[in-house]
Chains A and B, each alone.
Chain A
Amino acid sequence: MELKRKPADDTRIKVGKKSGSVMTLPLIIWLVCFVLVPLLLIGWYGITVENPDGSMSVSFENFKRFADPIYLNPLLRSAKIATITTVVCIALGYPVAYILARSTAKWTNIVMMLILMPMWINFMLRIYSWASLLEGNGIINSLLVSLGFEKQQFMYTEGVVVLGTIYNFLPFMIMPIQNVLLKLDNSLLEAAADLGASPVRRFFKITLPYSVPGIISGVAMVFVPSVTTFVISQRLGGNKVPLIGNIIESQFGMAGDWNFGSTVSLIVMAIVLAFMFAINKTDRAEVNGRGLTL
Protein backbone atom coordinates (compact mmCIF):
# COMPACT_ATOMS: atom_id res chain seq x y z
CA MET A 1 0.00 0.00 0.00
CA GLU A 2 2.78 2.43 0.83
CA LEU A 3 4.26 2.17 -2.62
CA LYS A 4 1.02 2.63 -4.47
CA ARG A 5 -0.29 5.40 -2.25
CA LYS A 6 -1.50 8.44 -4.12
CA PRO A 7 -0.26 11.83 -2.96
CA ALA A 8 -2.18 12.62 0.18
CA ASP A 9 -4.98 15.11 -0.02
CA ASP A 10 -3.47 17.26 2.65
CA THR A 11 -0.19 18.02 0.96
CA ARG A 12 -1.13 17.66 -2.67
CA ILE A 13 0.64 20.60 -4.21
CA LYS A 14 -1.57 23.41 -3.09
CA VAL A 15 -2.11 24.58 -6.64
CA GLY A 16 -3.83 21.28 -7.17
CA LYS A 17 -7.16 21.78 -5.47
CA LYS A 18 -9.15 24.97 -5.51
CA SER A 19 -6.57 27.06 -7.31
CA GLY A 20 -6.34 24.30 -9.93
CA SER A 21 -9.37 25.63 -11.71
CA VAL A 22 -8.13 29.20 -11.32
CA MET A 23 -4.86 28.23 -13.02
CA THR A 24 -6.65 26.49 -15.87
CA LEU A 25 -8.96 29.45 -16.41
CA PRO A 26 -6.73 31.40 -18.86
CA LEU A 27 -6.37 28.26 -20.96
CA ILE A 28 -10.09 27.58 -20.92
CA ILE A 29 -10.92 31.15 -21.92
CA TRP A 30 -8.32 30.97 -24.68
CA LEU A 31 -9.64 27.67 -25.98
CA VAL A 32 -13.22 28.89 -26.01
CA CYS A 33 -12.37 32.17 -27.78
CA PHE A 34 -9.82 30.94 -30.29
CA VAL A 35 -10.57 27.27 -30.83
CA LEU A 36 -14.20 26.45 -30.09
CA VAL A 37 -15.88 29.67 -31.26
CA PRO A 38 -13.91 29.79 -34.55
CA LEU A 39 -14.77 26.16 -35.24
CA LEU A 40 -18.43 26.87 -34.50
CA LEU A 41 -18.21 29.77 -36.94
CA ILE A 42 -16.98 27.40 -39.63
CA GLY A 43 -19.88 25.16 -38.75
CA TRP A 44 -22.32 28.04 -39.05
CA TYR A 45 -20.89 29.33 -42.33
CA GLY A 46 -20.76 25.80 -43.65
CA ILE A 47 -24.48 25.19 -43.25
CA THR A 48 -25.64 28.59 -44.48
CA VAL A 49 -25.62 30.52 -47.74
CA GLU A 50 -25.40 34.26 -48.19
CA ASN A 51 -28.49 35.88 -49.72
CA PRO A 52 -28.10 38.69 -52.25
CA ASP A 53 -29.06 41.23 -49.56
CA GLY A 54 -26.19 40.10 -47.38
CA SER A 55 -28.28 38.12 -44.86
CA MET A 56 -27.60 34.45 -44.19
CA SER A 57 -30.02 31.58 -44.32
CA VAL A 58 -29.57 27.95 -43.33
CA SER A 59 -29.13 25.72 -46.33
CA PHE A 60 -27.31 22.57 -47.26
CA GLU A 61 -26.95 23.73 -50.83
CA ASN A 62 -23.18 23.96 -50.49
CA PHE A 63 -22.93 20.29 -49.60
CA LYS A 64 -24.79 19.50 -52.80
CA ARG A 65 -22.47 21.81 -54.68
CA PHE A 66 -19.49 19.90 -53.29
CA ALA A 67 -20.76 16.68 -54.88
CA ASP A 68 -19.40 17.95 -58.20
CA PRO A 69 -16.36 16.19 -59.68
CA ILE A 70 -14.40 19.47 -59.80
CA TYR A 71 -14.46 19.40 -56.00
CA LEU A 72 -14.72 15.67 -55.37
CA ASN A 73 -11.74 14.84 -57.55
CA PRO A 74 -9.33 17.06 -55.59
CA LEU A 75 -10.61 15.45 -52.39
CA LEU A 76 -10.03 11.96 -53.75
CA ARG A 77 -6.66 13.02 -55.14
CA SER A 78 -5.70 14.44 -51.73
CA ALA A 79 -6.68 11.19 -50.07
CA LYS A 80 -4.72 9.21 -52.66
CA ILE A 81 -1.59 11.38 -52.40
CA ALA A 82 -1.71 11.37 -48.61
CA THR A 83 -2.12 7.59 -48.53
CA ILE A 84 0.76 7.00 -50.94
CA THR A 85 2.89 9.47 -49.00
CA THR A 86 2.13 7.74 -45.70
CA VAL A 87 2.83 4.25 -47.03
CA VAL A 88 6.08 5.27 -48.73
CA CYS A 89 7.17 7.16 -45.62
CA ILE A 90 6.68 4.01 -43.53
CA ALA A 91 8.55 1.92 -46.12
CA LEU A 92 11.45 4.37 -46.34
CA GLY A 93 11.43 5.55 -42.75
CA TYR A 94 11.03 2.31 -40.82
CA PRO A 95 14.40 0.85 -41.89
CA VAL A 96 16.10 4.15 -41.03
CA ALA A 97 14.55 4.17 -37.57
CA TYR A 98 15.38 0.49 -37.13
CA ILE A 99 19.04 0.79 -38.15
CA LEU A 100 19.53 3.87 -35.97
CA ALA A 101 17.87 2.27 -32.96
CA ARG A 102 19.84 -0.98 -33.32
CA SER A 103 23.22 0.68 -33.47
CA THR A 104 25.28 1.67 -30.46
CA ALA A 105 27.64 3.81 -32.50
CA LYS A 106 28.02 7.48 -31.64
CA TRP A 107 27.62 8.53 -35.26
CA THR A 108 23.93 7.58 -35.21
CA ASN A 109 23.28 10.81 -33.27
CA ILE A 110 24.86 12.75 -36.08
CA VAL A 111 22.79 10.87 -38.67
CA MET A 112 19.61 11.61 -36.73
CA MET A 113 20.67 15.24 -36.58
CA LEU A 114 21.19 15.32 -40.36
CA ILE A 115 17.74 13.81 -40.85
CA LEU A 116 16.09 16.45 -38.66
CA MET A 117 18.19 19.44 -39.73
CA PRO A 118 16.29 20.23 -42.98
CA MET A 119 13.27 21.13 -40.86
CA TRP A 120 15.14 24.26 -39.83
CA ILE A 121 14.83 25.60 -43.35
CA ASN A 122 11.32 26.70 -44.16
CA PHE A 123 9.60 24.01 -46.16
CA MET A 124 8.72 26.38 -48.97
CA LEU A 125 12.39 27.06 -49.64
CA ARG A 126 13.10 23.36 -49.78
CA ILE A 127 10.17 22.79 -52.12
CA TYR A 128 11.40 25.72 -54.20
CA SER A 129 14.80 24.05 -54.33
CA TRP A 130 13.22 20.88 -55.65
CA ALA A 131 11.51 22.96 -58.29
CA SER A 132 14.80 24.52 -59.35
CA LEU A 133 16.19 20.99 -59.68
CA LEU A 134 13.29 19.56 -61.64
CA GLU A 135 11.97 22.45 -63.69
CA GLY A 136 12.02 22.50 -67.47
CA ASN A 137 15.07 24.74 -67.30
CA GLY A 138 16.21 23.32 -63.99
CA ILE A 139 19.49 21.80 -62.90
CA ILE A 140 18.72 18.24 -63.94
CA ASN A 141 17.56 19.28 -67.39
CA SER A 142 20.58 21.58 -67.78
CA LEU A 143 22.79 18.61 -67.01
CA LEU A 144 20.85 16.38 -69.42
CA VAL A 145 21.15 18.92 -72.20
CA SER A 146 24.85 19.45 -71.64
CA LEU A 147 25.32 15.66 -71.79
CA GLY A 148 23.41 15.58 -75.07
CA PHE A 149 20.12 14.13 -73.85
CA GLU A 150 16.65 15.48 -74.37
CA LYS A 151 14.87 17.59 -71.77
CA GLN A 152 12.43 15.73 -69.55
CA GLN A 153 9.15 16.98 -68.10
CA PHE A 154 9.16 16.30 -64.36
CA MET A 155 7.02 19.12 -63.04
CA TYR A 156 3.26 19.48 -62.72
CA THR A 157 2.45 15.81 -62.22
CA GLU A 158 0.97 13.93 -59.33
CA GLY A 159 4.25 12.07 -59.01
CA VAL A 160 6.25 15.19 -58.27
CA VAL A 161 3.66 16.37 -55.72
CA VAL A 162 4.04 13.01 -53.98
CA LEU A 163 7.81 13.42 -54.05
CA GLY A 164 7.35 16.80 -52.38
CA THR A 165 5.10 15.49 -49.62
CA ILE A 166 7.31 12.46 -48.97
CA TYR A 167 10.36 14.69 -48.83
CA ASN A 168 8.65 17.09 -46.48
CA PHE A 169 7.14 14.60 -44.01
CA LEU A 170 9.60 11.68 -43.97
CA PRO A 171 11.43 12.91 -40.81
CA PHE A 172 8.09 12.93 -38.97
CA MET A 173 7.79 9.21 -39.63
CA ILE A 174 11.35 8.31 -38.67
CA MET A 175 11.34 10.21 -35.38
CA PRO A 176 8.51 8.51 -33.46
CA ILE A 177 9.41 5.01 -34.70
CA GLN A 178 13.02 5.44 -33.62
CA ASN A 179 11.87 6.76 -30.22
CA VAL A 180 9.82 3.64 -29.62
CA LEU A 181 12.44 1.20 -30.90
CA LEU A 182 15.07 2.72 -28.63
CA LYS A 183 13.01 1.61 -25.66
CA LEU A 184 12.72 -2.00 -26.85
CA ASP A 185 14.55 -4.11 -24.32
CA ASN A 186 17.17 -6.26 -25.98
CA SER A 187 16.53 -9.09 -23.52
CA LEU A 188 13.10 -9.55 -25.13
CA LEU A 189 14.79 -10.35 -28.42
CA GLU A 190 17.36 -12.53 -26.69
CA ALA A 191 14.62 -14.41 -24.90
CA ALA A 192 12.87 -14.99 -28.23
CA ALA A 193 16.12 -16.17 -29.81
CA ASP A 194 16.67 -18.41 -26.82
CA LEU A 195 13.24 -19.92 -27.39
CA GLY A 196 14.24 -20.69 -30.95
CA ALA A 197 12.72 -17.81 -32.92
CA SER A 198 14.48 -17.04 -36.19
CA PRO A 199 15.56 -13.43 -36.88
CA VAL A 200 12.64 -12.94 -39.30
CA ARG A 201 10.20 -14.37 -36.80
CA ARG A 202 11.68 -12.23 -34.02
CA PHE A 203 11.13 -9.15 -36.13
CA PHE A 204 7.50 -9.92 -36.96
CA LYS A 205 6.58 -11.31 -33.54
CA ILE A 206 8.37 -8.80 -31.30
CA THR A 207 10.00 -5.80 -32.92
CA LEU A 208 7.18 -4.88 -35.30
CA PRO A 209 4.31 -5.18 -32.79
CA TYR A 210 6.40 -3.24 -30.31
CA SER A 211 6.88 -0.37 -32.75
CA VAL A 212 3.18 -0.03 -33.63
CA PRO A 213 2.63 3.01 -31.36
CA GLY A 214 5.53 4.75 -33.08
CA ILE A 215 4.14 3.95 -36.51
CA ILE A 216 0.73 5.25 -35.44
CA SER A 217 2.17 8.57 -34.27
CA GLY A 218 4.14 8.75 -37.50
CA VAL A 219 1.02 8.13 -39.56
CA ALA A 220 -0.81 10.89 -37.67
CA MET A 221 2.06 13.30 -38.25
CA VAL A 222 2.34 12.51 -41.96
CA PHE A 223 -1.18 11.85 -43.17
CA VAL A 224 -3.01 14.88 -41.80
CA PRO A 225 -0.66 17.61 -43.05
CA SER A 226 -0.21 15.91 -46.42
CA VAL A 227 -3.95 15.55 -46.96
CA THR A 228 -4.46 19.28 -46.49
CA THR A 229 -1.32 20.76 -48.02
CA PHE A 230 -1.81 23.44 -50.63
CA VAL A 231 1.65 24.99 -51.03
CA ILE A 232 3.44 21.86 -52.23
CA SER A 233 0.78 21.16 -54.84
CA GLN A 234 0.74 24.81 -55.85
CA ARG A 235 4.48 24.99 -56.45
CA LEU A 236 5.26 21.52 -57.78
CA GLY A 237 1.88 20.67 -59.31
CA GLY A 238 1.09 24.01 -60.85
CA ASN A 239 -2.66 24.21 -61.38
CA LYS A 240 -2.65 20.76 -62.89
CA VAL A 241 -2.87 18.84 -59.61
CA PRO A 242 -5.34 20.75 -57.41
CA LEU A 243 -5.76 19.28 -53.94
CA ILE A 244 -8.55 19.87 -51.44
CA GLY A 245 -6.32 22.37 -49.62
CA ASN A 246 -6.13 24.44 -52.82
CA ILE A 247 -9.93 24.44 -53.07
CA ILE A 248 -10.30 25.78 -49.53
CA GLU A 249 -7.57 28.34 -50.01
CA SER A 250 -9.10 29.66 -53.22
CA GLN A 251 -12.56 29.97 -51.66
CA PHE A 252 -11.13 32.20 -48.95
CA GLY A 253 -8.82 33.96 -51.37
CA MET A 254 -9.67 34.57 -55.01
CA ALA A 255 -13.21 33.11 -55.10
CA GLY A 256 -14.24 34.80 -51.87
CA ASP A 257 -17.06 32.38 -51.10
CA TRP A 258 -16.61 31.88 -47.38
CA ASN A 259 -19.73 29.81 -47.02
CA PHE A 260 -18.62 27.24 -49.54
CA GLY A 261 -15.05 27.36 -48.21
CA SER A 262 -16.44 26.62 -44.75
CA THR A 263 -18.47 23.72 -46.08
CA VAL A 264 -15.36 22.18 -47.63
CA SER A 265 -13.44 22.86 -44.40
CA LEU A 266 -16.16 21.11 -42.41
CA ILE A 267 -15.90 18.07 -44.65
CA VAL A 268 -12.10 18.02 -44.41
CA MET A 269 -12.21 18.51 -40.66
CA ALA A 270 -14.70 15.68 -40.29
CA ILE A 271 -12.40 13.38 -42.28
CA VAL A 272 -9.28 14.44 -40.39
CA LEU A 273 -10.84 14.21 -36.94
CA ALA A 274 -12.42 10.86 -37.73
CA PHE A 275 -9.04 9.65 -38.94
CA MET A 276 -7.28 10.96 -35.84
CA PHE A 277 -9.89 9.45 -33.59
CA ALA A 278 -9.48 6.11 -35.28
CA ILE A 279 -5.71 5.95 -34.95
CA ASN A 280 -5.30 8.02 -31.83
CA LYS A 281 -6.60 5.58 -29.27
CA THR A 282 -3.04 4.81 -28.33
CA ASP A 283 -1.05 7.14 -26.18
CA ARG A 284 -1.29 10.66 -27.45
CA ALA A 285 1.93 11.54 -25.71
CA GLU A 286 3.73 9.69 -28.49
CA VAL A 287 2.80 12.43 -30.90
CA ASN A 288 6.02 14.26 -30.65
CA GLY A 289 6.94 17.59 -32.13
CA ARG A 290 10.31 18.26 -33.60
CA GLY A 291 11.69 20.07 -30.56
CA LEU A 292 11.88 17.16 -28.13
CA THR A 293 14.18 14.90 -30.02
CA LEU A 294 16.44 17.62 -31.32
Chain B
Amino acid sequence: MRTHRTKWYSKLYLGLIVAFLQLPIIIMMINSFNSSRAMGAWTWEGFTLDWYRELISNDKILSSLGTTLLLALAAAVISTIIGTIAAIGLSGMKKRISGIILNVSYIPMLNAEIVMGISLMLLFAIIGIDRGFLTLLIGHITFCIPYVILSVMPKIRQFDHSKYEAALDLGATPKMAIVRIFIPDILPGIISGFLMAFTLSMDDFIISFFTTGNGVKTLPIEIYTMMTKRGISPEVNALSTIVYIIVFIIMLGINVLPSIRQRADIKKKLKSERKQVS
Protein backbone atom coordinates (compact mmCIF):
# COMPACT_ATOMS: atom_id res chain seq x y z
CA MET B 1 0.00 0.00 0.00
CA ARG B 2 2.83 2.37 -0.74
CA THR B 3 1.77 5.39 -2.73
CA HIS B 4 1.22 8.60 -0.90
CA ARG B 5 3.54 11.51 -0.73
CA THR B 6 3.92 12.14 2.98
CA LYS B 7 2.21 15.32 4.19
CA TRP B 8 4.09 17.85 6.34
CA TYR B 9 1.96 17.16 9.42
CA SER B 10 2.65 13.45 9.07
CA LYS B 11 6.35 14.19 9.02
CA LEU B 12 5.97 16.44 12.05
CA TYR B 13 4.15 13.67 13.89
CA LEU B 14 6.84 11.12 13.07
CA GLY B 15 9.43 13.62 14.24
CA LEU B 16 7.69 14.05 17.58
CA ILE B 17 7.41 10.30 18.15
CA VAL B 18 11.07 9.76 17.25
CA ALA B 19 12.05 12.63 19.57
CA PHE B 20 9.98 11.09 22.39
CA LEU B 21 11.70 7.76 21.92
CA GLN B 22 15.20 9.17 21.58
CA LEU B 23 14.93 11.78 24.35
CA PRO B 24 16.12 9.64 27.31
CA ILE B 25 18.97 8.31 25.22
CA ILE B 26 20.13 11.80 24.38
CA ILE B 27 19.96 12.65 28.10
CA MET B 28 22.02 9.55 28.81
CA MET B 29 24.62 10.59 26.25
CA ILE B 30 24.77 14.11 27.65
CA ASN B 31 25.25 12.69 31.13
CA SER B 32 28.11 10.56 29.90
CA PHE B 33 30.01 13.77 29.07
CA ASN B 34 28.90 15.69 32.16
CA SER B 35 31.56 16.09 34.84
CA SER B 36 28.86 16.12 37.51
CA ARG B 37 28.09 12.63 38.79
CA ALA B 38 24.46 13.70 38.58
CA MET B 39 23.55 12.06 41.85
CA GLY B 40 21.44 14.60 43.81
CA ALA B 41 20.48 17.66 41.80
CA TRP B 42 21.16 17.60 38.10
CA THR B 43 23.62 20.26 37.00
CA TRP B 44 25.87 20.64 34.01
CA GLU B 45 29.39 20.99 35.26
CA GLY B 46 31.25 20.97 32.04
CA PHE B 47 32.37 18.53 29.35
CA THR B 48 34.57 15.62 30.29
CA LEU B 49 35.80 12.31 28.93
CA ASP B 50 36.64 11.07 32.41
CA TRP B 51 33.83 8.53 32.47
CA TYR B 52 35.10 6.93 29.31
CA ARG B 53 38.58 6.76 30.80
CA GLU B 54 37.29 5.32 34.06
CA LEU B 55 35.16 2.79 32.21
CA ILE B 56 38.33 1.04 31.00
CA SER B 57 39.46 0.45 34.57
CA ASN B 58 36.04 -0.33 36.02
CA ASP B 59 36.29 -4.07 36.61
CA LYS B 60 32.75 -4.38 37.89
CA ILE B 61 31.19 -3.06 34.70
CA LEU B 62 33.62 -4.75 32.37
CA SER B 63 33.29 -8.15 34.01
CA SER B 64 29.50 -7.91 33.98
CA LEU B 65 29.72 -6.95 30.31
CA GLY B 66 31.90 -10.01 29.73
CA THR B 67 29.39 -12.22 31.54
CA THR B 68 26.56 -10.74 29.49
CA LEU B 69 28.30 -11.36 26.16
CA LEU B 70 29.44 -14.86 27.08
CA LEU B 71 25.96 -15.73 28.35
CA ALA B 72 24.25 -14.30 25.27
CA LEU B 73 26.59 -16.17 22.95
CA ALA B 74 26.16 -19.48 24.77
CA ALA B 75 22.39 -19.09 25.10
CA ALA B 76 22.02 -18.10 21.44
CA VAL B 77 24.16 -20.98 20.17
CA ILE B 78 22.46 -23.63 22.27
CA SER B 79 18.91 -22.38 21.75
CA THR B 80 19.56 -22.06 17.99
CA ILE B 81 20.80 -25.65 17.81
CA ILE B 82 17.95 -27.10 19.88
CA GLY B 83 15.33 -24.90 18.24
CA THR B 84 16.44 -25.47 14.66
CA ILE B 85 16.79 -29.22 14.95
CA ALA B 86 13.43 -29.42 16.69
CA ALA B 87 11.77 -27.21 14.08
CA ILE B 88 13.03 -29.50 11.30
CA GLY B 89 11.78 -32.51 13.21
CA LEU B 90 8.42 -30.89 13.92
CA SER B 91 7.85 -30.02 10.26
CA GLY B 92 7.85 -33.72 9.42
CA MET B 93 5.53 -34.76 12.23
CA LYS B 94 1.77 -35.09 12.36
CA LYS B 95 0.11 -31.71 12.75
CA ARG B 96 -1.72 -32.57 15.94
CA ILE B 97 1.39 -33.70 17.81
CA SER B 98 3.64 -30.94 16.51
CA GLY B 99 0.93 -28.40 17.37
CA ILE B 100 0.94 -29.47 21.01
CA ILE B 101 4.74 -29.32 21.23
CA LEU B 102 4.79 -25.92 19.55
CA ASN B 103 2.19 -24.52 21.93
CA VAL B 104 4.19 -25.67 24.95
CA SER B 105 7.40 -24.25 23.51
CA TYR B 106 5.73 -20.85 23.02
CA ILE B 107 4.75 -20.64 26.71
CA PRO B 108 7.97 -18.87 27.80
CA MET B 109 7.33 -16.22 25.15
CA LEU B 110 3.63 -15.74 25.91
CA ASN B 111 3.64 -16.05 29.65
CA ALA B 112 4.62 -13.19 31.96
CA GLU B 113 8.39 -13.13 32.26
CA ILE B 114 8.25 -12.69 36.01
CA VAL B 115 6.29 -15.94 36.35
CA MET B 116 8.77 -17.80 34.16
CA GLY B 117 11.59 -16.36 36.24
CA ILE B 118 10.24 -17.36 39.62
CA SER B 119 9.17 -20.80 38.37
CA LEU B 120 12.78 -21.52 37.39
CA MET B 121 14.00 -20.07 40.67
CA LEU B 122 11.70 -22.45 42.53
CA LEU B 123 12.97 -25.38 40.48
CA PHE B 124 16.61 -24.61 41.16
CA ALA B 125 15.93 -24.07 44.86
CA ILE B 126 14.07 -27.35 45.22
CA ILE B 127 16.50 -29.59 43.36
CA GLY B 128 19.33 -27.80 45.13
CA ILE B 129 21.29 -26.31 42.25
CA ASP B 130 23.27 -23.27 43.36
CA ARG B 131 22.19 -20.30 41.30
CA GLY B 132 24.97 -18.95 39.12
CA PHE B 133 26.09 -18.90 35.52
CA LEU B 134 24.62 -22.33 34.72
CA THR B 135 21.16 -21.47 36.02
CA LEU B 136 21.27 -18.15 34.18
CA LEU B 137 22.15 -20.00 31.00
CA ILE B 138 19.29 -22.46 31.45
CA GLY B 139 16.86 -19.59 31.99
CA HIS B 140 18.07 -17.72 28.92
CA ILE B 141 17.98 -20.78 26.66
CA THR B 142 14.41 -21.45 27.81
CA PHE B 143 13.08 -18.07 26.76
CA CYS B 144 15.19 -17.91 23.57
CA ILE B 145 14.02 -21.25 22.12
CA PRO B 146 10.52 -20.08 21.07
CA TYR B 147 11.96 -17.12 19.17
CA VAL B 148 14.35 -19.40 17.30
CA ILE B 149 11.55 -21.81 16.38
CA LEU B 150 9.35 -18.91 15.35
CA SER B 151 11.91 -17.57 12.90
CA VAL B 152 13.08 -20.94 11.52
CA MET B 153 9.65 -22.55 11.09
CA PRO B 154 8.36 -20.29 8.27
CA LYS B 155 11.57 -20.85 6.29
CA ILE B 156 11.12 -24.60 6.58
CA ARG B 157 7.50 -24.30 5.48
CA GLN B 158 8.51 -22.15 2.50
CA PHE B 159 11.23 -24.58 1.43
CA ASP B 160 10.51 -25.84 -2.06
CA HIS B 161 10.60 -29.57 -1.63
CA SER B 162 11.60 -30.10 -5.25
CA LYS B 163 15.01 -28.54 -4.49
CA TYR B 164 15.64 -31.39 -2.09
CA GLU B 165 14.48 -33.85 -4.73
CA ALA B 166 16.67 -32.15 -7.31
CA ALA B 167 19.71 -32.74 -5.10
CA LEU B 168 18.80 -36.43 -4.74
CA ASP B 169 18.21 -36.55 -8.48
CA LEU B 170 21.73 -35.24 -9.08
CA GLY B 171 23.24 -37.98 -6.94
CA ALA B 172 23.31 -36.46 -3.46
CA THR B 173 22.43 -38.75 -0.59
CA PRO B 174 19.64 -37.51 1.70
CA LYS B 175 22.25 -36.39 4.23
CA MET B 176 24.20 -34.41 1.61
CA ALA B 177 21.00 -32.89 0.27
CA ILE B 178 20.13 -31.64 3.75
CA VAL B 179 23.57 -30.21 4.43
CA ARG B 180 24.17 -28.66 1.01
CA ILE B 181 20.71 -27.57 -0.07
CA PHE B 182 18.20 -27.59 2.77
CA ILE B 183 20.28 -25.98 5.52
CA PRO B 184 21.63 -23.15 3.29
CA ASP B 185 18.07 -22.50 2.19
CA ILE B 186 16.71 -22.03 5.70
CA LEU B 187 19.92 -20.33 6.89
CA PRO B 188 18.43 -16.81 6.91
CA GLY B 189 15.80 -18.03 9.37
CA ILE B 190 18.45 -19.69 11.53
CA ILE B 191 20.59 -16.55 11.52
CA SER B 192 17.73 -14.25 12.40
CA GLY B 193 16.70 -16.65 15.16
CA PHE B 194 20.25 -16.62 16.47
CA LEU B 195 20.49 -12.82 16.39
CA MET B 196 17.13 -12.49 18.08
CA ALA B 197 18.18 -14.92 20.81
CA PHE B 198 21.46 -13.08 21.25
CA THR B 199 19.91 -9.63 21.61
CA LEU B 200 17.06 -10.85 23.82
CA SER B 201 19.54 -12.57 26.11
CA MET B 202 21.78 -9.50 26.24
CA ASP B 203 18.90 -7.26 27.19
CA ASP B 204 17.13 -9.57 29.60
CA PHE B 205 16.71 -8.49 33.16
CA ILE B 206 13.68 -10.19 34.68
CA ILE B 207 14.58 -13.86 34.04
CA SER B 208 18.20 -13.13 34.95
CA PHE B 209 17.10 -11.45 38.17
CA PHE B 210 15.47 -14.62 39.43
CA THR B 211 17.91 -17.19 38.07
CA THR B 212 21.27 -15.70 39.00
CA GLY B 213 23.13 -15.83 42.26
CA ASN B 214 26.53 -16.20 43.87
CA GLY B 215 27.62 -12.79 42.66
CA VAL B 216 27.29 -13.66 38.95
CA LYS B 217 26.05 -10.43 37.42
CA THR B 218 25.03 -9.54 33.92
CA LEU B 219 25.15 -5.92 32.88
CA PRO B 220 21.37 -5.40 33.35
CA ILE B 221 21.64 -6.93 36.84
CA GLU B 222 24.58 -4.66 37.62
CA ILE B 223 22.60 -1.65 36.40
CA TYR B 224 19.64 -2.67 38.55
CA THR B 225 21.86 -3.04 41.60
CA MET B 226 23.33 0.42 41.02
CA MET B 227 19.91 1.89 40.41
CA THR B 228 18.48 0.58 43.66
CA LYS B 229 21.55 1.64 45.64
CA ARG B 230 23.50 4.77 44.78
CA GLY B 231 22.30 5.56 41.28
CA ILE B 232 23.78 4.60 37.97
CA SER B 233 27.43 5.44 37.65
CA PRO B 234 28.34 7.65 34.69
CA GLU B 235 30.63 4.93 33.36
CA VAL B 236 27.51 2.95 32.46
CA ASN B 237 26.27 5.94 30.48
CA ALA B 238 29.63 6.05 28.73
CA LEU B 239 29.45 2.34 27.90
CA SER B 240 25.87 2.59 26.66
CA THR B 241 26.75 5.61 24.53
CA ILE B 242 29.52 3.61 22.87
CA VAL B 243 27.19 0.64 22.30
CA TYR B 244 24.47 2.89 20.93
CA ILE B 245 26.78 4.62 18.48
CA ILE B 246 28.21 1.31 17.24
CA VAL B 247 24.73 -0.16 16.78
CA PHE B 248 23.58 3.05 15.09
CA ILE B 249 26.40 2.86 12.54
CA ILE B 250 25.74 -0.83 11.86
CA MET B 251 21.99 -0.24 11.45
CA LEU B 252 22.57 2.73 9.20
CA GLY B 253 24.83 0.52 7.09
CA ILE B 254 22.22 -2.21 6.89
CA ASN B 255 19.53 0.27 5.89
CA VAL B 256 21.57 2.23 3.37
CA LEU B 257 23.75 -0.51 1.83
CA PRO B 258 20.94 -2.53 0.23
CA SER B 259 19.75 0.44 -1.78
CA ILE B 260 23.29 1.05 -3.00
CA ARG B 261 23.66 -2.61 -3.91
CA GLN B 262 20.28 -2.56 -5.60
CA ARG B 263 21.40 0.29 -7.81
CA ALA B 264 24.54 -1.66 -8.72
CA ASP B 265 22.46 -4.72 -9.56
CA ILE B 266 20.18 -2.75 -11.83
CA LYS B 267 23.21 -1.37 -13.63
CA LYS B 268 24.62 -4.85 -14.07
CA LYS B 269 21.33 -6.12 -15.45
CA LEU B 270 21.05 -3.25 -17.89
CA LYS B 271 24.59 -3.88 -19.09
CA SER B 272 24.01 -7.57 -19.73
CA GLU B 273 20.75 -6.86 -21.51
CA ARG B 274 22.54 -4.47 -23.78
CA LYS B 275 25.09 -7.20 -24.44
CA GLN B 276 22.36 -9.65 -25.36
CA VAL B 277 20.80 -7.21 -27.78
CA SER B 278 24.04 -6.52 -29.63
Contact = CB atoms under 8 A, between A and B. Distances in A.
**Touch between A and B in complex, CB under 8 Å?**
yes
Contacts of B13: 95-96, 99
Given A21-B89, A35-B107, A125 B82 contact: no
A148 to B, nearest CB: 17
Q: How large is the interface on A (under 10, 10 to 19, 20 to 34, 35 or more residues)?
A: 35 or more
B190 to A, nearest CB: 12
B205 interface: yes
Given A132-B27, A132-B31, A30 B114 contact: no
A115 B18 contact: yes
Contacts of B23: 129, 133
Contacts of B264: none
Nearest to B210: A252
Interface residues of B, number: 105
A272 B106 CA distance: 14
B101 A27 contact: yes
Contact of B1 (A122, A124, A186, A262): A186
Interface string A88-128: 00001001100111111110011101110111111111111
A157 interface: no
A113 B86 contact: no
Interface of A is mostly: helix
A117 B38 contact: no
Nearest to A119: B203
B101 A28 contact: yes
Interface of B: 1-6, 10, 13-14, 17-18, 20-25, 27-28, 31, 38, 40-43, 82-83, 85-86, 88-93, 98, 101, 104-116, 118-123, 126, 138-139, 141-142, 145, 147, 150-151, 153-154, 161, 164-165, 168, 174-175, 177-178, 182, 192-193, 195-196, 199-200, 203, 205-206, 210, 219-220, 223-224, 227-228, 232, 236-237, 240, 243-244, 247-248, 251-252, 254-255, 259
17 contacts: A11-B164, A14-B178, A16-B92, A27-B82, A27-B85, A30-B145, A38-B120, A38-B123, A96-B14, A102-B4, A117-B244, A137-B42, A182-B1, A220-B110, A231-B224, A272-B112, A284-B150
